Amino acid sequence: MPTLSVHQKPATGRFGDFGGRFVPESLVPACDALAAAFHEAWTDPAFRAELDELLEVYAGRPTPLTPARTLSARLGVELLLKREDLAHTGSHKINNVLGQALLARRMGKHRIIAETGAGQHGVAAATAAALLGLECTVYMGERDIERQQLNVLRMTTLGATVVPVTTGSRTLKDATNEAMRAWVADVDGAHFLLGSVGGPHPYPTMVRELQSVIGNEARTQSPYVPDVVVACVGGGSNAAGTFAGFIDTTARLVGIEAAGGAAMTDGSPGVVHGARSMVLQDAEGQVAEAESIAAGLDYPGIGPEHAFLGATGRAEYYAVTDDEVVAAVRRLARAEGIICALESAHAVAWVLREAGGPLLPTGSRVVLTLSGRGDKDMATLGAVA
């Protein structure tokens, strides 16, 4: 049974200098109540059994660990793919939303509030809400609504209300601010279902624990302890969940960001959406815009635990470019018959680039989390030469 990782003090929600809770006074009791409810649920075998059953009979877990035989032979590394693309709704996001929606119901909430960028988390949240009979309101930037019509239709088909956000850049960071405001206005009735490992305590810990099913399964499925475990990083939830299964092993933990949204490489410490972490910001400390071909990695921050793992050297973070990512989607598709999401292709691109070099020597055994499937990206891909 996974326990809270040793390097964190659960009571404070700090990861070294990072994390914590930077929220309006009015949200402190709600965060405290959520932390207590999650701790109680997570240590209750009945809650765990209910979640595990949903993950199995509804979400399709365990997802397989697929050997990438052709690429492995060509690259000279042993590459195993953890197939979150095969989970219901097409990505790892289902793991988090099922857990939080069950928790919301257990806390007596009747409504879920979620933020979304490209709409992937919004669709997942609307899915879990539909399954468990909860109302669902999704905050989405006006610009993203224009760009992601299909996901908007998915959400409304699932019965969710999509609220356009017209402030700021009209994208994810503003949608997150609005969702937090909506939570303040209805703290008793609503649960704020955050989509990644950012935000105030307890979200980074809670979402990591809910995603740890990825790493725990992969650890059991892998015939050996790998040399390298690699995953893409937007907010960092699929990577955090993957790393959780290997944190106490000798495996190197590697997170791959988009070059246009590389909070670990190009950012500096700052506070965003309730937590202190690494953030892309301008000289005045204003949160900067991220720019990536993968909408799910188009985020200027990163979860505080990653900032800590990077600062202590336990995990390594690198960036890949949009061009490398597009090439990686195509190469994986042709070599293995798997069309992965542009987000997931960041991890693939790093392996393609580094195999045989100092960062990934020949013979390395690699477990790579394929966070999602690429159907949603076909139009984007088709528009690129």
Ligand X SMILES: *Cc1c(COP(=O)(O)O)cnc(C)c1O
Nearest distance in Å: CB 288, ligand X: 18
115 tagged catalytic: yes
Q: Total residues at the site for ligand X (CB under 6 A)?
A: 18
Residue 267 interacts with ligand X (CB under 6 A)?
no
344-383 binders of ligand X (CB under 6 A) = 344, 371-372
Pairwise CA distance, residues 222 & 163, whole Å: 43
Residue indicated by tokens 């109540």: 33
Residue selected from 91, 95, 176, 205 as contacting ligand X according to rule CB under 6 A? 91
Residue 176 or 196 having the CB closest to ligand X: 196
Quick check: 270 binds ligand X (CB under 6 A)? Answer: no
Nearer to ligand X, 78 or 115 (CB): 115
For residues 281 and 371, which CB has a smaller minimum distance to ligand X in the complex? Answer: 371
Could you tell me the two tokens for 132?
Answer: 């468990």
Catalytic status, residue 93:
yes
With respect to ligand X, which residue has the nearer C-beta, 78 or 245?
245
* Per-residue CA distances from 234 to 65, 240, 256, 335 (Å): 22, 11, 9, 26
Query: Among 4-12, 306-314, 340-348, 357-365, which window interacts with ligand X (CB under 6 A)?
Result: 340-348
What tokens appear for 232 in the block? 């893409």
Supply 276's token pair: 């202190």
In eight-state DSSP terms, residue 376 is: G
Q: What Å distances lie between residue 52 and 45, 60, 366, CA to CA?
A: 10, 11, 27
| Closest CB to ligand X among residues 251, 325 | 325
> With CB under 6 A as the contact rule, which of the stretches 15-23, 44-52, 136-144, 230-238 interacts with ligand X?
230-238
Measured from the CB atom, the residue of 63 and 78 that comes closer to ligand X is 63
Strands 65-67 and 14-15: unpaired
> In the annotation, is 371 catalytic?
yes
Among 93, 170, 273, 276, binds ligand X (CB under 6 A): 93
Shortest CB 356 distance to ligand X, Å: 26
User: Which of 84, 115, 217, 354 is labelled catalytic?
Assistant: 115
Instruction: Point out which span in 97-105, 282-290, 311-319, 336-344 binds ligand X (CB under 6 A).
Output: 336-344
Gap between the Cα atoms of 272 and 274, Å rounded = 6
Judge contact between 245 and 253, C-beta under 8 A. no
Following DSSP, what letter does each residue of 114-168 receive, concatenated? EEESSSHHHHHHHHHHHHHT-EEEEEEEHHHHHHTHHHHHHHHHTTPEEEEE-ST
Q: Contact positions toward ligand X, by CB under 6 A?
A: 91, 93, 120, 196, 232-238, 296-297, 341, 343-344, 371-372
Annotated active-site positions, please? 93, 115, 371
